[in-house]
Structure 1
Amino acid sequence: MNIDAILVPQGAEYKSVCRGLSRVNGSKPPIFPIPVGVKPIIKYLEEWQKAGYLFNHQQPRVLLMGLCGSLTSRYSVGDIVVYRSCVYGSDEKLPEKMCDRTFTDEISNNLKEKAFLVRGLTTDRLIYSASEKRNLGVIYDAEVVDMEGFAALNVLNKAGFAVAILRVISDDSQHDLPDINSAISADGSLQSLPLAIGMLRQPIAATRLIKGSLRGLKVLEKTTTNLLQM
C-alpha cells in the first residue's frame, strides 16, 4: 500500500495508530499528529504545506485516520468506515469534497476487516446529543461525523494531494455523550481540567464515551497494522 503520510488527531488516536504501525515490517509512512477542529487543522495544514512536506512527490497520497461518531443506527461502535466524500455542517452552503477514488478503493479492497463506504459530516464542535446526531444525519445525508475531514480535504485537494479518510466509530447515534466542548481549546488541543469536569457532570455518558473510545482505539490500532502490512 503506497501511502506518503498519515494524519491523525493528536492524543490517544495518534498513539493508537503509532502502536499499530510499530508492528509493520519494512518502510513506513511518517505520521503527523494534527489538532482537533476545523480552524486549527486548516492552520496546521497550511503551515505543513509551507514547510514543503511531500512536494517531492508527483501526487502525494495522504491518509487521514482517527475515530468518528455514527449518525445512524446502521453503524455502531467498532465499525470501520472509509469516506467517499465529506460535507461541512454550517449555515454556509459549501460544496461536498470528494476523497480520491483510486486511493479510497485501494484501502477498501485491502482491508481484511469489512469496511463501510460512507459520506462523512464535519462540524466545528463535538456533537454530543444523540437526537442531534440523528437529525444531522438526515439533514446532510451523512452516516458519520468528525471535526477534521472536510477541512483536510478542502486544503489538501487544492494543493494537489490525493486524500483518503479511514475512521473507526467510537460512539453510536442512540446514546448521549458528555458535553466536553469546553475542553477543546482554540489551538485544537484537549485541556485536561475542563475535560475532567465535563466527564464528572455526566458520569453515565462519560463511562459510555470511555468504553466506546477504548474499543474504537483497539480497532484503529489493529486496522493500521493490517492496512500497512499489505
Structure 2
Amino acid sequence: MPNFLSINTILVPQGAEYKAVCRGLNGVTGSIPTLVAIPLGMKPLLKYLQQSPGNGQFLVPKSRVLIMGICGSLSDRHTVGDIVLYQDCVYQGKQQECDRTFTAQLHSCLSQKASLVKSLTSDRVIWSAAEKRHLGETLAADVVDMEGFTALEFFNAVGVSVGILRVVSDDCQHNIPDLTSAINSDGSLNPLPLAMGMLRQPLAATRLIRGSLTALKVLEQVTNLLINLRHI
C-alpha cells in the first residue's frame, strides 16, 4: 500500500537518543527519512526550530515529522522499556494534539507493541517519584518529556503533521537524580554537573543508567522495525 506510512523527517534529542536511532537505521535498505538531532528542553528547541537554517527541510506543508526519544512514566501502567505513542501533550493548562491519522498509522504498524498515551511536557527534570505520581494523577498524564509540547505547538501552527514515539526510561516508583542543572542553555548536556548529579545520588543514578540503557535498546529496535515496515 503506497504511502501507508510516509515519514519525511525524524527529530531526536541529541546525544544517546540520537545515537540509538542512528543504530536503528543502520542496515535499512532503501530510502530513509532525514534524521535531525534537536536540543534538549523547551526553550532551546523552540530557538532551534525558529532559527535553524536547515529547518526548511521539515517546514513543508503536509510533510510528516516523527519525534522519537525516551521519556519518564507518571503512571504505574507504564514501566521501563514500554513503547508509547502520544495522543497529545499538555503544558501549563494548554494542550497540543498529535496528528490523529499519522498516529493511528504508527499504532497500526506497531500492533500491540505501543500504548497510546497522554503526555506532559516539563521545562525541568521531574526527578521525584512522588511528584511524578502527583502530576500523573492531577493532570491525567501518563508520561513526561521536555520537548513534546514545544514541537507540537510549532509544527501544528505551520501545517506539518507530527507523531511522537518514545520509550519509557524511568518509572514513577523511584527517584532519579535531579539533572536539571546539567542541561545547558543551548540544550546540550554539561558533563561535569551531570557527573556530580549522578555521584550525589548513586543508587538513583544506577537505576537511571540501567533504565536508560534498556530504553535506548528498545528505541533502536523500534526505529529499525518502523522504517523497515513503512511503505514509501
2:169 counterpart of 1:166: no
Matched ranges for 1:109-124 at <5 A: 109-111=108-110, 114-124=113-123
Could you tell me which amino acid in structure 2 is paired with residue 53 of structure 1? Q
2:28 counterpart of 1:29: no
Q: TM-score w.r.t. structure 1 length?
A: 0.95
In the TM superposition, residue 54 of structure 1 has moved relative to its aligned partner by 3.5
Which residue does the alignment assign to 1:8?
12
Residues 1:49 and 1:164: Cα distance change in structure 2 (over 3 Å): farther
Q: Deviations over 1:58-81 (max 9, x none)?
A: 401000000000001111000000
Matches of 1:71 and 1:33 in 2, distance apart? 26
Could you tell me which amino acid in structure 2 is paired with residue 20 of structure 1? G
Q: Which one of the candidate residues 70, 76, 98 is aligned to 1:73?
A: 76
User: What SS does the corresponding residue of 2:75 show, helix, strand or coil?
Assistant: coil
Could you tell me which amino acid in structure 1 is paired with residue 143 of structure 2? V
Matches of 1:217 and 1:167 in 2, distance apart? 10
Q: Give the conservation status (yes or no) of the 8 Å contact 2:58–2:65.
A: no
2:85 counterpart of 1:85: no
Matches of 1:218 and 1:23 in 2, distance apart? 16
Matches of 2:150 and 2:55 in 1, distance apart? 19
Matches of 2:195 and 2:13 in 1, distance apart? 19
2:175 counterpart of 1:176: yes
2:41 counterpart of 1:59: no
In the TM superposition, residue 45 of structure 1 has moved relative to its aligned partner by 1.0
In the TM superposition, residue 47 of structure 1 has moved relative to its aligned partner by 2.0
Q: Which one of the candidate residues 47, 50, 70 is aligned to 2:51?
A: 47
Could you tell me which amino acid in structure 2 is paired with residue 61 of structure 1? R
Identical-pair percentage: 57
User: What SS does the corresponding residue of 2:56 show, helix, strand or coil?
Assistant: coil
Matches of 1:40 and 1:21 in 2, distance apart? 26
User: What SS does the corresponding residue of 1:126 show, helix, strand or coil?
Assistant: coil
Matches of 1:41 and 1:192 in 2, distance apart? 20
User: What SS does the corresponding residue of 1:229 show, helix, strand or coil?
Assistant: helix
Which residue does the alignment assign to 2:217?
218
Matches of 1:58 and 1:169 in 2, distance apart? 31
Q: Give the conservation status (yes or no) of the 8 Å contact 1:81–1:116.
A: yes
Which residue does the alignment assign to 1:197?
196
Count the aligned residue pairs. 225
Which residue does the alignment assign to 1:38?
42
Which runs of 5 or more structure 1 residues have no equivalent in the other structure?
none
